[in-house]
């Protein structure tokens, strides 16, 4: 007999054999000893338990064997805990990962404190690894994600029946001098524009911009009005369970090392413990509240939108400290302030809104006259180096998908794929994906981050 996986269980004193299940852990011989009854059952009946992916078959075998042995009471875990994955946070990352896990046939529960506070509903939706001037492994991750976006969006649209608002419209980055343009970290990926070419691409551009780079491969998606909703609907269609209004208060562990559950406060009141052996921490800017060793902090951003004439701007315009993102219906999304010093202070500020207004006047003066439609704010999950924390976390069983800072919309496609693949891997994950993931381990060395620090990729305000 081979016993490739250890056994564990939660003895709920339940004598309903239909609930009898096994929970495979990573090999831990001592766990076998802790559950001698189940182990002897396995031994006595010659079961082989070496395939971590075939839990259902194993469960059926044990179930049948237990019945025929006349066992009416056995160690058990709730079925939901077996093989199922708990996603903490129902923002963009939580949804993207839940969707990918559900597509791989896994049972998923999403615990979400408040849907409306997610940065996924705040972002401008730029898909901009080149316009943002990303560098090194973050640029590679961004490019890999950008490449996957069309197929990812098509899948969400097919699963949900809803459009996601993808617009591969290109992004123009304007500069005041050719030297500044040529020194831009991603200049090699862009098409250099002079003033005449800039005017053709962006009629009405402010006079101080004499040079530019066109990144035709970058684009945008309507995360706020479309993508988030489509992802939610796709998840529901694939059987993902949502617990909206459930705040995770604490991760519960066995001896501080392995996840055994989460303590949750539900909207209806009362605190509960949920059994969980595998969870994904996707709590955005709030992630360090659950795992204080994570270097994640809030970076507040204020936004507004203007209603312009339809097709007044065809490309996204990405200036220093300000960008204009034209939706198909003429709505112009304007962002964004970057306020790490604000912590979790909610609300708009006159200074933040004035900064956006000044930026509009500099980039596209005529837009300063267009009527404002909406103003809002949110919290980016920042990290000192501006890159996400992805992969296994400091507690076994807890996976991380947080710290996406300014690029979470761009990185959602690749994050969903990498994390779902890593969690469900049976050793067959692609080497290329493992190499993409490796640089984003949570405890990599980080630069000291002074207040107001601006990570690579974020252009300074004018
Ligand atoms: C102003 C602004 C503009 C942006 N523009 C862009 C852009 O143009 N392009 C781009 O790529 N990215 C952009 N981003 C970044 C992007 O929005 C984020 O990186 C991304 O949304 C992060 O996703 P997330 O799932 O980690 O966090 P979120 O989307 O914030 O979701 C986190 C969720 O976790 C929940 N939660 C937190 N704590 C708990 C708890 N204890 N229990 C249960 N639930 C919990 C919250 O309620 C929230 O719903 C922008 C962000 C901002 C703020």
pLDDT tens digits for 320-378? 999 999 999 999 999 999 999 999 999 999 999 999 999 999 999 999 999 999 999 99
Q: CA-to-CA distance for 449 and 386, rounded, in angstroms?
A: 10
Q: Which residue has the higher pLDDT, 53 or 261?
A: 261
Question: Which atom of ligand 1 is found nearest the CA of 124?
Answer: 8
Q: Is 352 in the pocket of ligand 1 (CB under 6 A)?
A: no
pLDDT score of 67:
63
Q: Is 142 in the pocket of ligand 1 (CB under 6 A)?
A: no
pLDDT score of 448:
83
pLDDT score of 49:
44
Q: Is 250 in the pocket of ligand 1 (CB under 6 A)?
A: no
Q: Which residue has the higher pLDDT, 7 or 93?
A: 93
Cα–Cα distances in Å, from 358 out to 122, 238, 368, 372? 21, 45, 9, 14
Cα–Cα distances in Å, from 364 out to 105, 108, 120, 317, 324? 48, 46, 26, 9, 9
Q: Is 388 in the pocket of ligand 1 (CB under 6 A)?
A: no
pTM of the model: 0.84
pLDDT score of 458:
61
Which residue has the least CA distance to atom 26 on ligand 1? 284
CA 116 to centroid of ligand 1, rounded, Å: 10
Question: Which atom of ligand 1 is found nearest the CA of 300?
Answer: 53
pLDDT score of 54:
47
Question: Which atom of ligand 1 is found nearest the CA of 116?
Answer: 49
Q: CA-to-CA distance for 462 and 451, rounded, in angstroms?
A: 19
Edge-to-edge order in the sheet of strand 247-254: 247-254, 258-265, 271-275
pLDDT score of 108:
98
Report the mean per-residue pLDDT for the chain: 86
Q: CA-to-CA distance for 231 and 222, rounded, in angstroms?
A: 12
Least confident of 83-87, 200-204, 351-355, 375-379: 83-87
CA 89 to centroid of ligand 1, rounded, Å: 9
φ, ψ at 233 (rounded to 5°): -65, -40
CA 407 to centroid of ligand 1, rounded, Å: 10
CA 284 to centroid of ligand 1, rounded, Å: 5
φ, ψ at 162 (rounded to 5°): -120, 150
Q: How far is CA 370 from the centre of its chain?
A: 33
Which residue has the least CA distance to atom 20 on ligand 1? 408
- Strand segments, DSSP code E, in 205-285 are 211-215, 219-221, 241-244, 247-254, 258-265, 271-275, 279-281
Token representation of residue 396:
């076994």
**pLDDT bucket at 312, cuts 50 / 70 / 90:** confident
Region 22-26: what's the mean pLDDT? 33
Q: CA-to-CA distance for 32 and 38, rounded, in angstroms?
A: 8
pLDDT score of 32:
44
Flag whether pLDDT at 74 surpasses 60.
no
Q: Is 410 in the pocket of ligand 1 (CB under 6 A)?
A: yes
Q: Is 251 in the pocket of ligand 1 (CB under 6 A)?
A: no
Flag whether pLDDT at 17 surpasses 70.
no
Flag whether pLDDT at 178 surpasses 50.
yes
Which residue has the least CA distance to atom 5 on ligand 1? 123
CA 379 to centroid of ligand 1, rounded, Å: 7
pLDDT score of 340:
97
Q: Is 125 in the pocket of ligand 1 (CB under 6 A)?
A: yes
Q: Is 248 in the pocket of ligand 1 (CB under 6 A)?
A: yes
pLDDT score of 9:
33
**pLDDT bucket at 37, cuts 50 / 70 / 90:** low
**pLDDT bucket at 106, cuts 50 / 70 / 90:** very high
Which residue has the least CA distance to atom 41 on ligand 1? 248
Which residue has the least CA distance to atom 6 on ligand 1? 123
Q: Is 228 in the pocket of ligand 1 (CB under 6 A)?
A: no
pLDDT score of 296:
98
Q: Which residue has the higher pLDDT, 428 or 275?
A: 275
Flag whether pLDDT at 28 surpasses 70.
no
Flag whether pLDDT at 75 surpasses 70.
no
Q: Which residue has the higher pLDDT, 186 or 425?
A: 186
Q: Is 133 in the pocket of ligand 1 (CB under 6 A)?
A: no
pLDDT score of 311:
84
Q: How many CB atoms lie within 10 A of CB 170?
A: 19
CA 119 to centroid of ligand 1, rounded, Å: 3
CA 380 to centroid of ligand 1, rounded, Å: 6
Flag whether pLDDT at 50 surpasses 60.
no
Region 230-240: what's the mean pLDDT? 98
Flag whether pLDDT at 80 surpasses 50.
no
26 burial (CB, 10 Å; 0-12 / 13-18 / 19+) is exposed
Q: Is 457 in the pocket of ligand 1 (CB under 6 A)?
A: no
Q: What is the CA radius of gyration of the chain?
A: 25
> Which of 251, 276, 380, when mutated, tests ligand 1's pocket best, judged by the most ligand atoms within 8 Å of its CB?
380
| pLDDT above 90 coverage of the chain, percent | 76
Region 182-209: what's the mean pLDDT? 97
Flag whether pLDDT at 55 surpasses 80.
no
Q: Is 279 in the pocket of ligand 1 (CB under 6 A)?
A: no
Q: Is 224 in the pocket of ligand 1 (CB under 6 A)?
A: no
Q: Is 414 in the pocket of ligand 1 (CB under 6 A)?
A: no
């Amino acid at each position: 007999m081979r016993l490739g996986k250890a056994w564990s269980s939660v003895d709920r004193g339940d004598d309903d054999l239909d609930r009898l299940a096994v929970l495979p852990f990573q090999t831990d011989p001592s766990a076998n000893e802790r559950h001698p009854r189940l182990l002897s059952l396995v031994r006595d009946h010659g079961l082989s338990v070496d395939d971590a992916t075939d839990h259902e078959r194993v469960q059926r075998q044990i179930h049948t064997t237990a019945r025929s042995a006349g066992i009416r009471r056995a160690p058990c875990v709730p079925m939901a805990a077996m093989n199922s994955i708990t996603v903490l946070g129902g923002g963009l990352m939580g949804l993207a990962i839940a969707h990918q896990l559900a597509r791989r046939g896994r049972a998923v529960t999403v615990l979400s404190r408040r849907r409306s506070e997610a940065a996924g509903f705040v972002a401008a939706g730029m898909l901009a690894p080149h316009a943002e001037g990303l560098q090194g492994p973050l640029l590679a991750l961004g490019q890999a994600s950008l490449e996957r976006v069309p197929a990812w969006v098509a899948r969400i649209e097919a699963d949900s029946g809803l459009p996601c608002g993808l617009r591969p419209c290109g992004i123009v980055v304007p500069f005041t001098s050719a030297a500044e343009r040529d020194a831009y970290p991603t200049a090699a990926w862009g098409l250099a524009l002079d003033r005449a070419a800039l005017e053709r691409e962006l009629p009405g551009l402010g006079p101080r911009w004499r040079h530019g780079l066109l990144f035709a491969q970058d684009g945008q998606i309507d995360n706020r009005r479309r993508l988030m909703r489509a992802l939610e609907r796709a998840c529901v269609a694939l059987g993902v369970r949502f617990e909206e209004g459930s705040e995770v208060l604490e991760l519960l562990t066995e001896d501080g090392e392995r996840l055994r559950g989460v303590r949750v406060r539900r909207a209806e009141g009362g605190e509960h413990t949920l059994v969980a052996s595998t969870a994904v921490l996707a709590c955005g800017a709030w992630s360090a509240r659950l795992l204080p060793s994570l270097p994640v902090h809030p970076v507040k951003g204020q936004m507004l939108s203007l209603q312009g004439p339809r097709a007044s701007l065809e490309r996204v315009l990405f200036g220093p400290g300000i960008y204009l993102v034209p939706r198909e219906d003429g709505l112009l999304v304007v962002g964004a302030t970057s306020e790490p010093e604000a912590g979790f202070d909610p609300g708009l500020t006159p200074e933040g809104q004035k900064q956006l207004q000044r930026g509009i006047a500099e980039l596209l003066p005529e837009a300063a006259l267009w009527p404002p439609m909406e103003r809002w704010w949110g919290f980016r999950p920042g990290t000192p180096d501006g890159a996400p924390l992805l992969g296994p976390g400091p507690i076994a069983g807890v996976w991380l998908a947080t710290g996406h800072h300014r690029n979470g919309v761009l990185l959602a496609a690749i994050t969903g794929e990498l994390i779902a693949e890593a969690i469900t891997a049976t050793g067959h994950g692609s080497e290329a994906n493992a190499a993409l993931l490796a640089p984003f381990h949570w405890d990599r060395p980080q630069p000291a981050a002074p207040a107001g620090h601006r990570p690579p990729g974020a252009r300074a305000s004018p």
